Amino acid sequence: MKKTSRRPPPDPLPDRERRGRAFDALVQNGAVATRTKQRNLGRLSEIAQVAVRHGFGYFIEKHKLTDLLPFGQRGQVVPSAANQRGVHLREMLDELGPTFVKFGQVLSTRPDIVPPDIIAELRALQDDVRPFPFEQVEQVVETELGLSLERAFSSFDRTPIAAASIGQVHRATLPNGKRVAVKVQRPGAPRQIEADLALLYQAARIAKERIRALDFIDARALVDEFGRSIRSELDYRSEGRNADRFRRHWAGDPHVEIPHVYWSYTRARVLTLEFLEGTQVADVDTQSYTLEERRRLAYRMAETWMTMIFRHGFFHGDPHPANILVLPGDRIGLVDFGQVGKLSDDDISKLTRLFIEAASENVDNLPRRLADLGVTYPKEKEEEFRTRLRELYYKYYGATLAEIDPVQVIREAFQLIYAMNLQLPTRFVLLDKAIATLGSVGIELYEDFNVFEVAKPYARSLVRDRLTPRSLAREGRRELAKLAFVASEFPHQLHDVMEELRDGQIEVGFVHKGLDAFMVRLDAALNRLVIALVVVGGLIGSSLIGIFAEQGPQILGVNILSFIGFLLSGLLGVWLLLGVVRSGRL
């Protein structure tokens, strides 16, 4: 049988009508974009007003941002003192809403760009918001699971046990009788987050263009980092996979409990976990525990995180008191696996070398070990960095563990990082945040708690493990494979360079130092030269007009055009002379 091709049906819309509709759509999209921009400007104005209310009027005034305020309030900005700025910023972010609270939490992990006093306050931010109605919970669950709430669960509590910016948690029971915790995403959360991110990008642009004091910060990159972090939390399946990995790592451990993930009841906006019967550390009544019980609990938590860091290379990134449960039988349980940190074998090896150098009092080698970890600092400040690091080291070296306040040590380390403008890899910043938070929680339970006392045995045992013949042989094979790869790639790379050289594609770049000021002076000199030439040209031209023009109106016996030329040239000449005199380079 002969195949016949079917012609597409004729377009029912004439060309003119189709073009008209396309034009209408374009106009509508432009109008939507304009309205979005106007809304963002209105929201920026609202943020500026909140900032003034929380004592940041001095910042608005100093950086000439008063145009963001309503016209009637621009003259009412009263500059206030910059003290207690961390407290004021935390309260401001709390008022602005959940996305800004999370942004503050991200800022609290960046000691390379945020001063230590502000970090201390931002770490107290809690992602705690008003729950959304149960009717919306029911709608999200039924849409995601494709089942009615009554069919999916034999019971489902209407009141949430926890609520946050992205979702909230409800207690429920599966048809098989298992008690579970169901995490449901807030309706419209992705849309609200994208709107807030657009606003933060606009604020970042304003900061880059108008706030010179923030030139050392890449504000857009900071918002990018926050965007990646918060978007990753929108897919609950990712959190479920993290929980599964933790559960595999801790399988069989008698002291740590990780909830089971019920994947049949888990989707992108719904996460169903085994319900752990316990008490949040935040709700623990320390008076009902003996001193030894509190000590054991604090050190159990520290040992758990040290095992994650030094053994598993995969650690819980947010160990605040609401995410750690005290379970019966001297056990702890972990929940909320949205923020996790990952360390490679190479990272753990470098951390171990850093610890060995510190324990051996080889302070001069610490900058090199930090550089191995990816910590960067200006080369011209290397000696200053080594000196300040030595001062910090010997301030605490030799002191008993009970005398050392881990939080104070970390705070002073942050001051060093901020003062030296060190650049920290993100994975180690999250590690630092986890240890600092854990230290704070541990001290609240047991005042003599010291997280470094727990870290020491793990680092020592890790050193022993890595010095065994099997580990050394494995490390040797790995290094040999790297060298073999480099050797095999070298001829190809050399060939590529020679080809680029032959084709004239090799470019040589250079970095100049100290030329900026010279270029500014040269630019000013050239501008003055151009003005001088214009003055001379004006005088010569006016003189020629005065000599050869025999007709036309005159002023003081001089042709009017010639008179205007002399006047403008004279004014430019006086302006040029004043500029030279003011510069002090006459």
Phi and psi at 267, nearest 5°, equal -140, -170
Q: Are residues 381 and 343 in the same domain?
A: yes
pLDDT digits (tens, 9 = 90+) for 371-428: 887 777 777 777 888 888 888 777 776 554 456 555 566 567 666 776 777 766 766 7
- Indicate if the pLDDT at residue 30 is higher than 80: no
Of 225, 384, 564, 312, the residue nearest 304 (C-alpha): 312
pLDDT digits (tens, 9 = 90+) for 361-377: 677 888 888 888 777 77
Q: Which of 318, 347, 364, 503 is catalytic?
A: 318
Residue 354 in domain = yes
- Indicate if the pLDDT at residue 12 is higher than 70: no
Q: Are residues 142 and 166 in the same domain?
A: yes
Q: Mean pLDDT, to the nearest integer, of 24-42?
A: 49
Q: Are residues 333 and 251 in the same domain?
A: no
Residue 524 in domain = yes
Task: DSSP for 462-496, please give it.
Answer: HHHHHTSHHHHHHHHHHHHHHHHHHHHHHHHHHHH
- Indicate if the pLDDT at residue 194 is higher than 60: yes
Of 256, 275, 294, the residue that ends a domain is: 275
Residue 90 in domain = no
**Span of 2-11, 65-74, 199-208, 386-395 with lowest mean pLDDT:** 2-11
Q: Are residues 136 and 266 in the same domain?
A: yes
Q: Is 214 helix (H, G, I), strand (E, B) or coil?
A: helix
Q: Are residues 268 and 299 in the same domain?
A: no
Q: Mean pLDDT, to the nearest integer, of 141-150?
A: 94
pLDDT band for position 335 (cuts 50, 70, 90): very high
**Dihedral sign, CA of 524, 525, 527, 528?**
positive
**Span of 9-23, 164-178, 514-528 with lowest mean pLDDT:** 9-23
Residue 355 in domain = yes
Residue 507 in domain = no
- Indicate if the pLDDT at residue 452 is higher than 70: no
Of 275, 303, 320, the residue that ends a domain is: 275
pLDDT for residue 359: 62
Q: Mean pLDDT, to the nearest integer, of 191-198?
A: 86
- Indicate if the pLDDT at residue 447 is higher than 70: yes
Q: Are residues 212 and 289 in the same domain?
A: no
Q: Are residues 234 and 307 in the same domain?
A: no
pLDDT for residue 135: 95
- Per the annotation, the verdict on 318 as an active-site residue is yes
Q: Are residues 240 and 296 in the same domain?
A: no
Domain carrying residue 555:
519-583
Share of the chain above pLDDT 90, in %: 19
Of 230, 249, 275, the residue that ends a domain is: 275
Residue 148 in domain = yes
Q: Are residues 360 and 219 in the same domain?
A: no
Helix or strand holding residue 167 (H, E)? strand 167-173
Residue 532 in domain = yes
Calpha distance 110→426 (Å, rounded): 8
Q: Are residues 267 and 326 in the same domain?
A: no
Q: Are residues 320 and 228 in the same domain?
A: no
- Which has the higher per-residue pLDDT, 306 or 414? 306
Residue 110 in domain = no
Taking all residues of the chain, what is their mean pLDDT, rounded to a whole number? 78
pLDDT digits (tens, 9 = 90+) for 66-80: 777 765 555 555 555
The model carries a pTM of: 0.66
pLDDT for residue 410: 58
Domain count, the chain: 3
**Span of 155-159, 226-230, 239-243, 501-505 with lowest mean pLDDT:** 501-505
Q: Are residues 458 and 321 in the same domain?
A: yes
